[in-house]
Amino acid sequence: EDQVTQSPEALRLQEGESSSLNCSYTVSGLRGLFWYRQDPGKGPEFLFTLYSAGEEKEKERLKATLTKKESFLHITAPKPEDSATYLCAAPLTGGYQKVTFGTGTKLQVIP
């Protein structure tokens, strides 16, 4: 069964303390791996799409990478405004034209 699993569920960092969020997937024939950021009470906001193992994308303090089994969202020297829930998602295979989301990692960056 296609599945996307995120870890940890929650992460608390001091400002400037770099870390990584993990997204492992069991989707065969991956057609893309998406990262989103969601602030409380708002809809998710698109960050990155990764298509093939070895691909990397960066945006400010965030860098997303992809291997054959998982994706990482690296946060370098985070600031309090990076606090949010980070979601990863992947399109399902088997002709199902829909996306499955992980349950997210809630990141809190403390000043």
CA 83 to CA 61: how far, in whole Å? 12
Hey, which residues between 49 and 88 contact another protein (CB under 8 A)?
Answer: 49, 87
Q: Does 91 bind another protein (CB under 8 A)?
A: yes
Taking only Cα atoms into account, the Rg of the chain, rounded to an integer number of angstroms, comes to 14
- 41 contacts another protein (rule: CB under 8 A): yes
Nearest Cα to 65, choosing from 7, 24, 5?
24
The C-alpha atoms of residue 34 and residue 31 are separated, in whole angstroms, by 10
Q: How far is the CB of 111 from another protein (least distance, A)?
A: 26
- Among 42, 68, 81, 111, which residue sits at the site for another protein (rule: CB under 8 A)? 42
Q: Which residues bind another protein (CB under 8 A)?
A: 31-32, 34, 36, 41-46, 49, 87, 89, 91-92, 96-104
